[in-house]
DNA sequence: CGGTACGTTGTGGTC
DNA sequence: GACCACAGCGTACCG
């Protein structure tokens, strides 16, 4: 548990680690959270300009509103030069609750799993979720006289999604393997890619939300 | 230009749009930035619990420290029920400076482009960056008696990166096309995938930083 | 607007 | 720790 605070300051920020980044000088908002993570936010966009994951070690030497702060973690460092502080506020008992989400990919996977015959023709004796292959787990696999490999996306499907499906289909070897891409929507390019490679698209939609949550 | 502020409150947040999300009740920090973007931060992790892109329209009805706020944008809405406010601070002249980054993918692409013969054997008359194909632009393509397709990654290369390369190679049709994946590191699975499909790995590293920045 | 890919992606899960 | 994939990915860029 770390001391959480927000700090609005004028200064510059240097990050060194996986990359090297320079920011400012300018006015930025620094957040330090309960888990020791740090983010430096600029006045636009959602993601922080600089950031560092949980468990940073903080050093600071600030007097009369100016000085330096640093945050370290493994082989990364954020170095902040502060020339003016506008405000600093503590966030006590900052909630670590997570968002309860609906309309996830998992929801679509479960829907197809429970209503398999509505989506896929043919005889299948066994259906597996998250079936492991050499190159990662497949969302759904059906086993019968032939094998059905199903990759599910919660958003409009792209060509990249098709190549992911293809990777899984090929992981099963040559025999009788059908490839299915399931999503609420699919782009034209992806659609053509599927056809070209003999795979099929499954149109799957989210059930209405009304209940729950 | 919107009024930027941070608000630390006790309450709950509901998002509806591409998904449906419920958060809290609990203590959260709301940021509204110059561009009208909104994020609701919890006490852990770097990304916000809820968020909405630039240009949201804000409505609020808060009296005596409690009430409701909402943010709308296209077909999305964030609805916030506030029962207590701990602080609210304005961020005037919040800087929109961007980070100056080093060690980007572009840097590696340029390095291979300038020193092509150091990395790729054979005769090449023409080298193109961001060469367009049916399924997206390739980082580097060399043209000569044969074609060299090069996909570059700034981080450890994965199997997905290999399938991306494969997609590009196949976009050129059947003839004499060599596939190269260039990165500072590569995983074992990716390495095997390359070999299996007759592609090659190029070891490329970032030049030291000392100068610049 | 759709399509595509980068990102210090972050984060969680599995092995 | 490596590997893999999701995410309301966000964001930029190009068509």
Tell me the pLDDT tens digit for each residue of A5-19: 999 999 999 999 999
Q: What is the per-residue pLDDT across A102-125, written as a single tens digit (0 to 9) for each?
A: 999 999 999 999 999 999 999 999
Tokens 């609805």 identify what position?
B79
What span, in angstroms and rounded, lies between the C-alpha atoms of A172 and B164?
20
Chains A & B: contacts with CB separation below 8 Å: 186
What span, in angstroms and rounded, lies between the C-alpha atoms of B70 and B56?
9
Q: How far is the CA of B187 from the C1' of D1 (A)?
A: 12
Chain A neighbours among B 149-188 (CB < 8 Å)?
154-155, 159-160, 163-164, 166-167
Helices and strands per DSSP (H, E), number in chain A: 4, 13
What span, in angstroms and rounded, lies between the C-alpha atoms of A148 and A171?
12
The confidence band for A130, taking pLDDT boundaries of 50, 70 and 90, is very high
Q: What is the per-residue pLDDT across B114-156, written as a single tens digit (0 to 9) for each?
A: 999 999 999 999 999 999 999 999 999 999 999 999 999 999 9
Rounded to whole angstroms, what are the CA distances from A19 to A15, A37, A75, B56? 8, 18, 11, 32
Q: What is the pLDDT of residue B174?
A: 72
- Of A24, A48, A91, nearest to B95 by CB-CB distance is A24
What span, in angstroms and rounded, lies between the C-alpha atoms of B142 and B123?
9
What span, in angstroms and rounded, lies between the C-alpha atoms of B56 and A143?
48
Interchain pair A89, B8: CB under 8 A: yes
Q: Any residues with CB less than 8 A from the CB of A213 and at least 6 apart, and which?
A: A100, A102, B20, B22
The residue whose CA lies nearest the C1' of nucleotide C6 is B105
SS3 content of chain A, % helix, strand, coil (to 5): 15, 45, 35
Question: Is the CB of A131 inside 8 Å of chain B's CB atoms?
Answer: no
Percent of chain B with pLDDT over 90: 93
The tokens for B93 are 């002249």
Question: Is the CB of B205 inside 8 Å of chain A's CB atoms?
Answer: no
CA angle A99–A104–A105, rounded 5-degree value: 145
CA-based end-to-end distance of chain A: 30
């Amino acid at each position: 548990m770390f001391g959480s605070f927000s700090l609005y300051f004028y200064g510059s920020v240097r990050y060194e680690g996986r990359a090297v980044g320079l920011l400012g000088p300018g006015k930025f908002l620094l957040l330090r959270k309960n888990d020791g993570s740090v983010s430096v936010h600029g006045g636009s966009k959602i993601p922080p300009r600089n950031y560092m994951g949980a468990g940073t070690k903080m050093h600071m030497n600030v007097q009369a509103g100016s000085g330096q702060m640093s945050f370290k973690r493994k082989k990364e460092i954020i170095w902040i030069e502060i020339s003016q502080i506008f405000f600093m506020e503590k966030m006590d008992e900052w909630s670590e609750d997570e968002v309860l989400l609906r309309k996830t990919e998992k929801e679509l996977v479960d829907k197809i799993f429970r209503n398999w015959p509505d989506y896929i023709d043919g005889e299948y004796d066994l259906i597996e979720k998250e079936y492991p292959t050499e190159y990662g787990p497949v969302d759904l696999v059906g086993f019968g006289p032939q094998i059905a490999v199903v990759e599910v996306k919660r958003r409009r499907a792209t060509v990249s999604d098709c190549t992911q499906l293809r990777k899984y289909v090929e992981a099963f070897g040559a025999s009788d393997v059908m490839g299915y891409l399931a999503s609420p929507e699919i782009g034209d390019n992806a659609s053509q890619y599927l056809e070209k490679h003999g795979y099929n698209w499954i149109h799957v939609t989210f059930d209405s939300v009304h209940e729950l949550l």
